[in-house]
Amino acid sequence: MIARKGTKLYSIVKLKCPHCHEGQFLESHPYDFKKLGDVRSECEVCHIQYEREPGFYYGAMYVSYALGVALFVTVWTTCNLWFDWLTVWSQIGLVIFFTIVLSPYLFALSKIIWANFFISYKSNATVRE
């Protein structure tokens, strides 16, 4: 299994703490619009601070841009390879639809990916550091 505990992919897919892979990274589900994209201040298990400095997650905008481009390329390529009867405007509509529907998840995903760049996994991270 590629996304096993101890890998960055596990933390990203499960939206778990990048340090201990036990605690939740987000305040709530990515589609809870009242707390959209809210990251916990620290892990409830290992107590590591998620925000390294003020404005730490501004860098996640670059990851979000890359995810948006990947989504566009995926939808556009899929339309052109398997649904070649779709018009260009239908393809644009599908890209817009999937972008709107997946935006909250991509927003959360960009933050957890960004955090995984800077926070490493530690197998015995259940104690306060």
Ordered DSSP codes for 61-87: HHHHHHHHHHHHHHHHHHHHHH-TTS-
112 is a domain residue: yes
Residue pair 43/20 in contact (Cβ under 8 Å)? The answer is yes
33 is a domain residue: yes
Q: Specify the number of domains making up the chain.
A: 1
65 is a domain residue: yes
Enclosing domain of residue 38:
8-118
pTM of the model: 0.87
Residue-wise pLDDT for 7-51, tens only, equals 899 999 999 999 999 999 999 988 998 988 899 999 999 999 998
127 is a domain residue: no
Q: Buried (b) or exposed (e) across 4-42, using 16+ Cβ within 10 A?
A: eeeebebbbeebbbbbbbebbbbeeebeeeeebbebbee
2 is a domain residue: no
* Mean of pLDDT over the chain: 90
- pLDDT at 36 (0 to 100): 87
Say if residue 128's pLDDT is above 80: no
34 is a domain residue: yes
67 is a domain residue: yes
Task: Name the one residue in this structure whose structure tokens are 């990851």.
Answer: 63
